[in-house]
Structure 1
């Protein structure tokens, strides 16, 4: 699995780095994303992006200790990373690893991944949320979730499959049919080109105040008056399954 990423932080002078974080390990075919929860800033003046970044740095360090022959255990990596993350705040998280034609993942909240085969979605990881726009989230406070709640996933993949891993800023602004159309027209692009292309499409959609987005559709279902895209940090990692 070869991967590349795209990141566009939301325009915020107080948090120029945004609240998303992520990592890619080419050697061990593992990637992860985290999305710091913005309510920490509005309520307490805490930048949850610091928590998300520390969590992902610790996940990268934890996964380096895993034995390559045995394959990466994403939930164990997440547990180890969580245990040494000390920043205030909270975040969602999703870690995905590939070995011998199988994707293994651990997911908390609404950061997630989808698998495409021949330009069609064949798998989507589940979302964990208590209600609309209130995802499960890892953190050190008493009310935050712990990694034991992470959903563990195993899914077989084949050569040519495309995996898109992202935070909610990406998935809230791209309909699944849009993603399939992008792959149908641009599936031959390298992962870095594809990540940039689809990431910029999500960014453009997020700034659209009129057309429906996945976020606005779900908001209306929840009884909220909302139109257009959702301005947010956008992180996407594109992985392709290729022959070694």
Structure 2
């Protein structure tokens, strides 16, 4: 992503430029993106585990049309985006490196990749025993904060947005911590039942976590949002960087998931459906991103914004 990023002067945080108006992209208005006629959950089985599939594409490959024949499921191939998946611990995350650092000779990928690697490590090593014994959700803010500290020792400069989620199998609640403009959509029976709230300083200026010459740079994960939503078996969670959310509305995402389910049929393998849905969302994002003639994104809408794209589709079991 190429948005503005914070600057450090005398150890204090200042914005790199005053926001001319607050970010008004429609996804910020959660009520507008959640369907009013929601499915009855009284007969649904609460979720206790997750299975996640990833698809991603760097902006350079987007413009080359690579997405028409292939896409990637490995974080190093996602441009400035990065992600991690821990299905056994019911946890996953996405980070989007701030492209503006490239103007200062910094590879934006370095920070986002390290942050995801370290977050995964924190959860897998320090919390695995506790999570396995209790079934509780990961302490997301603690994990990201520790990962940030570890990343600061390895990366000289950089910043990223971050969205991480973890399922508590005892309460069947999905915990979502979101700093910036990546996000998550819960789809149930073709309906949008939840969209994660963004946290921004202004238009094209999301909150972000970072480092600059050994000092904390930008915001803290605690400056973002932490939301909890109960999920059920058969739900699909669609998580993505702003490359996805700037180009597709939540209801468009839900429709793609619904159509994929319908095409595969009720007896189709659930993992295959989720993997196909991730691919189908990615293709739709690419098509929308390259439709720059409409210019919707820079007018507060969606579409027409080429960017790195990461899509995670998680099925709730």
Equivalent residue, structure 2, for 1:103:
174
Task: Select 1:49's aligned residue among 101, 109, 122.
Answer: 109
Cα gap change, 1:16 to 1:32, in 2 (>3 Å): closer
**Alignment partners' CA distance in 2, 1:204 and 1:175:** 14
| Secondary structure of 1:198's aligned partner | helix
Cα gap change, 1:216 to 1:175, in 2 (>3 Å): farther
Task: Select 1:232's aligned residue among 299, 304, 307.
Answer: 307
Equivalent residue, structure 1, for 2:60:
11
Is 2:293 the counterpart of 1:210? Answer: yes
- Contact between 2:244 and 2:309, CA under 8 Å: does it hold in 1? yes
Equivalent residue, structure 1, for 2:277:
194
Equivalent residue, structure 1, for 2:81:
20
Offset of 1:212 from its aligned partner? 5.4
Cα gap change, 1:143 to 1:24, in 2 (>3 Å): closer
Cα gap change, 1:178 to 1:212, in 2 (>3 Å): farther
Offset of 1:17 from its aligned partner? 5.5
**Alignment partners' CA distance in 1, 2:299 and 2:257:** 23
Equivalent residue, structure 1, for 2:144:
78
- Contact between 1:82 and 1:147, CA under 8 Å: does it hold in 2? no
Offset of 1:99 from its aligned partner? 2.4
Is 2:185 the counterpart of 1:114? Answer: yes
TM superposition score normalised by structure 1: 0.88
Offset of 1:29 from its aligned partner? 1.2
- Contact between 1:195 and 1:238, CA under 8 Å: does it hold in 2? yes
Which of structures 1 and 2 has the bigger CA Rg?
2
Kindly tell me the number of residue pairs found equivalent between the two proteins. 232
- 1:8-34 deviation per Cα after TM superposition (whole angstroms, max 9, x unaligned): 01107xx97611000111111111000
Equivalent residue, structure 1, for 2:162:
93
| Secondary structure of 1:104's aligned partner | strand
Equivalent residue, structure 1, for 2:241:
167
| Secondary structure of 1:53's aligned partner | helix
**Alignment partners' CA distance in 1, 2:228 and 2:303:** 34
Task: Select 1:147's aligned residue among 211, 221, 236.
Answer: 221
Structure 1 residues without counterparts, runs of 5 or longer = 220-226
- 1:173-231 deviation per Cα after TM superposition (whole angstroms, max 9, x unaligned): 11223212212211355221111111121012111122454x24417xxxxxxx95111
Offset of 1:143 from its aligned partner? 4.7
TM superposition score normalised by structure 2: 0.69
**Alignment partners' CA distance in 1, 2:111 and 2:187:** 31
